[in-house]
Structure 1
Amino acid sequence: MKEKTTLIKNAKIVNEGKVFSGDILIEGEYIKQIDSSISAKSADVNIVDAEGKYVLPGVIDDQVHFREPGLTEKATIATESKAAIAGGITSFIEMPNTNPQTTTIEKLEEKFAIAAETSSANYSFMFGGTNDNLEEVLKVDKTNVAGLKLFLGSSTGNMLVDNPEVLEKIFSSTDLLISVHCEDEGTIKANFKKYHDEYGDDIPVKFHPEIRSEEACYLSSSKAIELAKKTGARLHIFHLSTGKETSLFSNKIPLKDKKITAEVCVHHLWFSDEDYEKKGTLIKWNPAVKKKSDREQLWKALLDGRIDVIATDHAPHTKEEKDNVYTKAPSGGPLVQHALPALLEMYHRGKISIEKVVEKMCHNPAILFQVEKRGYIKEGYFADLVLVDLNNPWTVTKDNILYKCGWSPFEGTTFKSRITHTFLNGSLVYQNAEFKDVKAAKRLTFTR
């Protein structure tokens, strides 16, 4: 069977710190050629005119919760991966705190089987560590799985790893990349008691960052880093939320040589504690959205290279759940459809260059997780590509939200930039708000 060929013409290509005009030839699943001008060799080449549009590598989101198995009233791999594709995210790494949890090889393989059947985007999963599953952790094939996820705070089920001896053993025993959620449980419990004693269950949500405080984050992050330095483990700290934590990271060496890396999420770059009054529990996340000054310091660390990647921590709950009083409203929100438009909005505001958006959302996740042949626009790489019109405004409304939960913290926001096309492994899977009936998603592989 003849491989399909697509020629993207007249694009502004964003790759490796440069923006340049050119054409991209796709043959089968791969980028065959990039040049200033490429001619179609035959009549059956599909030509996409990208005049006036930017072409970005597909975004790699290193932290999502797609809720399957077991929590499918909130989301499924099918629904959320589709929303991701519409948001220019072509690859995702999903977390282990589903039901049952992904803490055995058997449960991990069951998840891969679901994704192989239903995912619209390329996929991999984190394996979950607990206080008592080291034996299973050591069975994980690092070339086949994104990494190991440890909750050092705020876990569901039995996934809180709070035994220091177990923690040190895991850090010492595995050469998997270890990703951690860092919030100190003791600090949070003491803070919570103070507010609960005063307000009962209906604690005003503005106190969420006081309960899940800067100190809780810093204490946990600094301990994890200390342990990584002691054991030589490869550590990646998820969703930094405080300015104080940024001092723990370095920009002195290239990302590929770093043993300790950090991520920031879209919501911590967009919202601040000033938004609780209007948004309420819709912006209740763990770790909490904190002060404006924290947000500014996160931006500074992102731009100077101390923070390496931007992710979503996409974690949907039903609107009914979120509408509860503070103690009963779960933390987390849906973001994959709106993350890239939100960052491009920050580009329009002069906060970040489009080259830097691509570095932090595409190139760096590929380097950090050693994702094979993705995250760049390069000949011989998989053709995961996103076409963006930077001047085609649209407003987030109930009608265009694709998440199963049906709501977004960005509802009512107008974005200047629109994703017009998404290519996945060489196939056009999304065009002008319509999904193509093409099954193109693949399991991510890693060059380790």
Structure 2
Amino acid sequence: MKYLLKQATIINEGTSTVSDVLIQNDRIEKIASTIEDGTAKEINCEGKYLVPGSIDDQVHFREPGLTHKGNIHSESRAAVAGGITSFMEMPNTVPNALTQELLADKYEIAANSSIANYSFFMGASNDNIEEVLKTNPKDVCGVKVFMGSSTGNMLVDEPTTLNKIFGEVPMLIATHCEDEGTVRRNMETYKAKFGEDVPIKYHPEIRSEEACYLSSSMAVELAKKHNARLHVLHISTAKELSLFENKTPLAEKRITAEACVHHLWFSEEDYAEKQTLIKWNPAVKKKTDREAIWQAVLDNRIDVLATDHAPHTIEEKNNTYFKAPSGGPLVQHALLALLEKSKQGVISKERVIEKTAHAPATLFGVENRGFIREGYFADLVIIDPNKTTTVSKDNILYNCGWSPFEGTTFNHQIEKTFVNGNMVYDNHKVIDQSNGRRLSFNRFD
């Protein structure tokens, strides 16, 4: 199908301009003030935003092995409904993606079922460095290292192994940073005091600032020692922000950082209402942490914004502290939540698009995506700033059927989403007629 988007307010590369956009096949064919093409399906975008689709660099779509929580098809449908057109998924599925064969299995599942474009991180463990080194940086987004507890055999805590990974892996290393020893000691302290029923408000004390900083600083130290390409995920504390700088252009940075929507939206005050629904690792912490992370987003110490989308069933979440799993579903509402912050004056809408589309594309070297440019893939989102979206069970697309944003009204609405030139979402309906594609990369430092 050929589409002609008329008089859209294009938010792209720091500016907002009104133009027409012609989509032909899978690409953006032309951008101009006026385009006429009688063979294209015309869509009136007057008064609406046209933005590049978000590239979410951290999701857990739960397939294989945990599909009662979600699967690549269900969660990618929710993603495109939320304006996310590409995702990078983590290796802590069951089995863990710790071999090239298991990694290939995930790509095959996605090729047959994902509505959005996709990539999958290769998993590292204490004993699979040979497999890790076989990873192709051209078509795999990076290597994931859990420097804190995770599913199965994925905790990497041996100093020799960490030095080997940081010293020998030539591609991007993404880390979950929480010091395991600190977390376990804190757990024992609170378990001795409360037993199994620790109040959720103590989650940020158990998965503490100290645990985060000890681990993040170790990762940064290792990266500097070996000149490795490090990307630290889901920063949750003000203290960690001192580890990152904002003078080097993003395309040249060796050490980068990500923040997630929940650490920018919630604070410890929300545990009283939301309880374990907002239990994440790393934990949502103080208001002062949230404010500091926002400042780091604005001054470019934080490079990208993501979701860490990690669905669990509501039955699993409605449990006592130690039994309730960490994580929550976010891809359908992340862009709306960030645009709400732009409406509140916290961040400009241009910066939202920079941090969710341009910056991930630059940071990972995603080929021909993340920008509205002639010749680039037509991964595009039309947003109506004059309509609202109220999150309710009736319109949640996650397989798990709930959201921490239930009851929230956002002052924007995702109207249409295109992936590779195909309309995959149109006015509250996902169109299951085409699949996304495997992402390719061109940053090999």
Within the candidate set 105, 110, 115, 1:115 is matched to 110
CA offset digits 1:234-279 (Å, max 9, x no partner): 0000000001101110001100010000000000000000000000
Asked if 1:223 corresponds to 2:218, the answer is: yes
CA offset digits 1:388-420 (Å, max 9, x no partner): 011211210010010000000000101111000
Shift of 1:437: 3.6
Asked if 1:353 corresponds to 2:348, the answer is: yes
Alignment of 1:58-207 (within 5 A): 58-207=53-202
What TM-score, normalized to structure 1? 0.98
Contact 2:116 2:419 in 1 (8 A): yes
CA offset digits 1:287-316 (Å, max 9, x no partner): 000000000000000000000000000000
Contact 1:396 1:411 in 2 (8 A): yes
Shift of 1:87: 0.2
Structure 2 CA distance for aligned equivalents of residues 288 and 339 of structure 1: 18
What TM-score, normalized to structure 2? 0.99
Contact 1:425 1:440 in 2 (8 A): no
Structure 2 CA distance for aligned equivalents of residues 205 and 261 of structure 1: 31
Matched residue SS, 1:366 = helix
User: Where in structure 1 are there 5+ consecutive unaligned residues?
Assistant: none
Within the candidate set 303, 310, 315, 1:320 is matched to 315
Matched residue SS, 1:387 = strand
Structure 2 CA distance for aligned equivalents of residues 128 and 159 of structure 1: 7
In the alignment, residue 9 of structure 2 is paired with which amino acid? K
Within the candidate set 301, 310, 333, 2:305 is matched to 310
Within the candidate set 200, 209, 213, 2:204 is matched to 209
Identity among equivalent positions (%) equals: 62
Within the candidate set 22, 29, 37, 2:26 is matched to 29
User: Is 388-397 or 144-153 further displaced after alignment?
Assistant: 388-397
- In the other structure, the counterpart of 1:377 is 372
CA offset digits 1:57-84 (Å, max 9, x no partner): 0000000000000000000000000000
CA offset digits 1:203-239 (Å, max 9, x no partner): 0000000000000000100010000000010000000
- In the other structure, the counterpart of 1:5 is 2
- In the other structure, the counterpart of 1:400 is 395
Asked if 1:245 corresponds to 2:220, the answer is: no
Alignment of 1:245-394 (within 5 A): 245-394=240-389
Structure 1 CA distance for aligned equivalents of residues 389 and 56 of structure 2: 23
Structure 2 CA distance for aligned equivalents of residues 166 and 394 of structure 1: 47
- In the other structure, the counterpart of 1:17 is 14
Shift of 1:32: 0.8
Matched residue SS, 2:417 = strand
Structure 2 CA distance for aligned equivalents of residues 57 and 387 of structure 1: 9
In the alignment, residue 294 of structure 1 is paired with which amino acid? D
User: Where in structure 2 are there 5+ consecutive unaligned residues?
Assistant: none
Shift of 1:284: 0.2
Structure 1 CA distance for aligned equivalents of residues 34 and 378 of structure 2: 18
CA offset digits 1:323-357 (Å, max 9, x no partner): 01001000000000000000010011000001000
Contact 1:398 1:411 in 2 (8 A): yes
Structure 2 CA distance for aligned equivalents of residues 423 and 269 of structure 1: 27
Structure 2 CA distance for aligned equivalents of residues 270 and 136 of structure 1: 38
Structure 2 CA distance for aligned equivalents of residues 284 and 6 of structure 1: 42
Shift of 1:381: 0.2
Contact 1:427 1:440 in 2 (8 A): no
Structure 1 CA distance for aligned equivalents of residues 254 and 84 of structure 2: 26
User: Is 183-192 or 276-285 further displaced after alignment?
Assistant: 183-192
In the alignment, residue 113 of structure 1 is paired with which amino acid? E
In the alignment, residue 296 of structure 1 is paired with which amino acid? E
Structure 1 CA distance for aligned equivalents of residues 92 and 389 of structure 2: 34
Matched residue SS, 2:335 = helix
Matched residue SS, 1:398 = coil
Matched residue SS, 2:231 = strand
CA offset digits 1:153-196 (Å, max 9, x no partner): 02111100000011001111111100000000111111111100
